[in-house]
Structure 1
Amino acid sequence: MNRRIASFIFFTFIATTCQAAPTGNGIDIGVCYGLLGNDLPPAPRVVSLYKRGGIQKMRLYNPNHEALEALRGSQIQVTLGVPNEEIPKLANSQEAAQSWFTTNVEPYIQDIEFSYITVGNEAFPGQFGPSIGPAMHNLKNVLNEHNLHGIQVTTVIYSAVLANSYPPSAAVFTPEAASDMLNILQFLSDNGEPIMLNVYPYFAYAGDPANVRLDYAQFSATGPVVQDGALSYSNLFDAMVDSFIWAMEKMGFPNVAVAISESGWPSAGNGDFTTPDLAGTYNRNFMNHIIKSSGTPKRPNTYMDAYIFAMFNENQKPNGTEQHFGLFYPNMQPVYPIFP
């Protein structure tokens, strides 16, 4: 299949699935826009690529002002990140949170629909953990003062916060993460905000291919693979999400919603584990799974906002698979046809 046809099919599929998804509390797929490359196209061309593809949501990891300027009037919903290193400053005072808002959000608020502000990306366990809760609180106060109640404030976590994740019902947070998670989950519960999760079945499969089936990791299994009490799992993604849900429930927060801030599969960098075919299969099946709104075995028929990682291959990321998660090359040609 030539690249022009592949690109057309990709855009047609994205546009169709996004239109078919519910609006408002819907789950139309977003794509993460990473900027760790020295050969990436200018932001206006990137925004045009999103619009041509019907991609309705973008995740930005930091308030890149070139990207934000290009997003004005685009009607693309934006998830905007606070970089990890800025979290302590925002936690220290309401004034610092107001200054961050004044610089990075307020100039664009009339022209961009901001869905979420994410305070950090995988910022703990580690030095930033104790500051996340206070920073979220200060930012939420600023948004409320400006009557921007529709912008949700959250943070992004990943599997390192779990001491155990198999079976999902056995999952608990690590002792190192538990105290910070308590503060974060209390904030999210009090304000009706979701927790955002980076979920990568690829890493589980590549780390233990003898015990993790490929079809289980790629949403391709035709029946249950893992049985956890009354809950049956035919894909690893659901099992990983439910592990977080079980861990939250054990801390006393059974109703905090979940959004997927990243998921994807690299197309190169680790031999036969990372081919364009495998990456295309995973992302295609991931989109279908999310758009069906089927939820997970523990939370069936539940909408989840979700983002594919990532829009482009980024050559300034670490060597190996990290450079090959993109749907597109920097020349804006697709890495693989997302739809056969």
Structure 2
Amino acid sequence: MVVDLLLQNGVNDARIYTSQDDILQAFVGSGINLTIGIFNTYAISTKEQAKAWVQKNVPYYSSANIRQVYIGNYIFTQALNNTKLIDAGINTLTLVQTALNEAGYGDHIKATLPHTFAIVKDNITRPSEAEFKDKLKDAMNTTLRFLQQNNAPFVVEIFPISYVTENKLDPSFAFPDNKSTHVVTDVNGAVYTNVFEFVYDSFVWALEKAGAPDMKLIVGQVGWPTDGYPGANSSTAERFYKSFLPFVASNKGTPKRPGSPIDSYVHCLTDESKMPDEIPYARHWGIYRTNGEPKFKIDLTGQGRDIFPARAKGIMRMPERWCILNGEKAGDREKVMHEFRTACGYADCTSLAPGGSCSQLSFEDNASYAFNMFFQASFQDENACYFNGLGMVSLDNPSTDECVFPVEVVKGQQNDFGNYSGTRTHHMPSFGAIFLLSLSIAWALVLN
């Protein structure tokens, strides 16, 4: 279903966050180029383990068009507080690429590490000021030399809404449509009117200062959330992609690398309901709703057309019923709050966060929203609507103009992910998401 959707939308490259057999099998013969992931670097710590991993995935390297392998989960960022992770990450990177080379795949399959902006020194005001943080420089130099030896790319991940929020900048600076009041002028007359080009060129400057001025740079994730934060909604996501995708497709490059193509993976196809909820909008990067319908207009070909992407075919929803707070038993607010916290401890309630689509609900409707999210996440098991006698199943849709009380899709095959090659700590796997095939992975689309 997912592969069909990608093909309908003209997507030729995709990133998945696993190397699990049944996921890779779905792409065999599709013609879609894949980037796959190994999150748990400690799972491959010896030459023998690396060879075994390569041998296991050999059937897919040609038939599923695997082109890149991303190692770890922001190892250098995490290593700011745990330096042991760097050694493990570099070791896994070296072992995997060496095993690929020895198996005859090294010319067209490259292993690399994804990075966030946290590895660049703090408080820069212009891209030309950027360089890697001092405590990371030795390890970064080792990594860059290895990537250069293997002609592998440097991968970065850029989230404009996060950057403008953390740096208290004009929100319009997050959009590449040249409407921002925040403008940065740099050396050689370079002018920056948006986060993406600012951050991208910051990495280019940092690579240049580290002795890798010509290294290929890939944006492993870039996107816009649709809920859980002020300014995170479908209309702002549509605005972002409306200007960003044609910019990438134009191959105009950036001030530091004019005329240089930018490969960018759009993050992501579905929401990720198991992300840590400390950052509520982190669960809402998806282009599609749970029923397979797009949330907003987006032209994934980069032509800038005012169109909705293709809908997913064959998705079946659960019956039209919801779990809500029984108003007749809502008098004990402390009891209601206890059940509310219980529901949100398991289900996704981040749409209730300040600025979220459901942040204006009443106390009672807040409880109903939480109860329903738990009920739907339990695939409408009526026992999941008990809540110590406070819940009741309703056939009347409690949604408002702004806040959607969702209905879950029919429960599909639930795979055992005990052998999943690592755990995402920043982008957790999604277990209640839209496509039966993608219940336990997050997706990214790529434009070339």
Bin of the TM-score, shorter chain as denominator length: 0.7 to 0.9
Task: Give TM-score, length-normalised by structure 2.
Answer: 0.62
Query: 1:86-105 CA deviation, whole Å, 9 max, x = no partner?
Result: x1343x322111111122x2
Alignment of 1:269-308 (within 5 A): 269-271=228-230, 273-308=231-266
* CA apart distance, 1:134: 2.6
Does the CA-based 8 Å contact 2:225-2:237 persist in structure 1? Answer: yes
What is residue 67 of structure 1 aligned with on the other side?
Answer: 23
Between 187-196 and 132-141, the greater mean CA deviation after superposition:
132-141
Between 144-153 and 127-136, the greater mean CA deviation after superposition:
127-136
Question: Is the counterpart of residue 97 in structure 1 residue 50 in structure 2?
Answer: yes
Pair 143,134 (structure 1): closer, same or farther in 2 beyond 3 Å: same
Question: Is the counterpart of residue 202 in structure 1 residue 158 in structure 2?
Answer: no
What is residue 294 of structure 2 aligned with on the other side?
Answer: 334
Higher share of residues assigned helix: 1
* CA apart distance, 1:222: 5.3
CA distance in 1: counterparts of 2:241 and 2:113, whole angstroms: 23
Question: Is the counterpart of residue 266 in structure 1 residue 225 in structure 2?
Answer: yes
Question: Is the counterpart of residue 117 in structure 1 residue 69 in structure 2?
Answer: yes
Instruction: Indicate the SS of the match to 1:109.
Output: helix
Does the CA-based 8 Å contact 1:132-1:184 persist in structure 2? Answer: no
> Residue type of the partner of 1:316?
K
Query: 1:254-277 CA deviation, whole Å, 9 max, x = no partner?
Result: 121100100001011002x21211
Question: Is the counterpart of residue 128 in structure 1 residue 85 in structure 2?
Answer: yes
CA distance in 2: counterparts of 1:299 and 1:131, whole angstroms: 32
Instruction: Indicate the SS of the match to 1:79.
Output: strand
CA distance in 1: counterparts of 2:155 and 2:167, whole angstroms: 25
CA distance in 1: counterparts of 2:262 and 2:139, whole angstroms: 24
What is residue 78 of structure 1 aligned with on the other side?
Answer: 34
CA distance in 1: counterparts of 2:2 and 2:11, whole angstroms: 11
Query: 1:152-204 CA deviation, whole Å, 9 max, x = no partner?
Result: 11110001111134211111211232222111111111222110110111111
Structure with max Cα Rg: 2
Pair 220,214 (structure 1): closer, same or farther in 2 beyond 3 Å: farther
CA distance in 2: counterparts of 1:203 and 1:238, whole angstroms: 15
Gapped regions of structure 1 (runs ≥ 5): 1-44
* CA apart distance, 1:316: 1.4
> Residue type of the partner of 1:77?
N
Does the CA-based 8 Å contact 1:189-1:255 persist in structure 2? Answer: no
Q: Give me the identity figure in percent.
A: 26
Query: 1:218-268 CA deviation, whole Å, 9 max, x = no partner?
Result: 001159921012211122211101111111211222121100100001011
* CA apart distance, 1:107: 2.6
CA distance in 2: counterparts of 1:335 and 1:151, whole angstroms: 34
Instruction: Indicate the SS of the match to 1:245.
Output: helix
> Residue type of the partner of 2:75?
A
Query: 1:21-77 CA deviation, whole Å, 9 max, x = no partner?
Result: xxxxxxxxxxxxxxxxxxxxxxxx111111111111110111132221111111111
Does the CA-based 8 Å contact 2:114-2:155 persist in structure 1? Answer: yes
> Residue type of the partner of 2:110?
Q
Does the CA-based 8 Å contact 1:265-1:325 persist in structure 2? Answer: yes
> What is the count of residue pairs matched by the alignment?
289
Question: Is the counterpart of residue 314 in structure 1 residue 272 in structure 2?
Answer: yes
The RMSD of aligned alpha carbons is: 1.7
CA distance in 1: counterparts of 2:62 and 2:131, whole angstroms: 42
Pair 208,161 (structure 1): closer, same or farther in 2 beyond 3 Å: closer
Gapped regions of structure 2 (runs ≥ 5): 299-304, 307-448
* CA apart distance, 1:293: 0.8
What is residue 10 of structure 1 aligned with on the other side?
Answer: none
Question: Is the counterpart of residue 144 in structure 1 residue 124 in structure 2?
Answer: no
CA distance in 1: counterparts of 2:167 and 2:134, whole angstroms: 25
* CA apart distance, 1:144: 1.7
Instruction: Indicate the SS of the match to 1:183.
Output: helix
Between 130-139 and 222-231, the greater mean CA deviation after superposition:
222-231
CA distance in 1: counterparts of 2:125 and 2:47, whole angstroms: 40
Question: Is the counterpart of residue 175 in structure 1 residue 131 in structure 2?
Answer: no
Instruction: Indicate the SS of the match to 2:63.
Output: coil
Question: Comparing both chains, which one has the higher relative contact order based on Cα–Cα distances under 8 Å and sequence gaps of 6 or more?
Answer: 1
Question: Is the counterpart of residue 107 in structure 1 residue 59 in structure 2?
Answer: yes
Does the CA-based 8 Å contact 1:133-1:187 persist in structure 2? Answer: no
Instruction: Indicate the SS of the match to 1:58.
Output: strand
Alignment of 1:209-228 (within 5 A): 209=168, 212-221=169-178, 225-228=183-186
Task: Give TM-score, length-normalised by structure 1.
Answer: 0.80
What is residue 19 of structure 1 aligned with on the other side?
Answer: none
Instruction: Indicate the SS of the match to 1:75.
Output: coil
> Residue type of the partner of 1:109?
Y
Does the CA-based 8 Å contact 2:25-2:64 persist in structure 1? Answer: no
Does the CA-based 8 Å contact 1:294-1:303 persist in structure 2? Answer: yes
> Residue type of the partner of 2:273?
N
Instruction: Indicate the SS of the match to 1:81.
Output: strand
Query: 1:282-308 CA deviation, whole Å, 9 max, x = no partner?
Result: 123221111111111111111122100
Match 1:188 to one of 127, 147, 155 = 147
> Residue type of the partner of 2:10?
G
Query: 1:111-145 CA deviation, whole Å, 9 max, x = no partner?
Result: 11111111123122324212222322222222122
What is residue 395 of structure 2 aligned with on the other side?
Answer: none
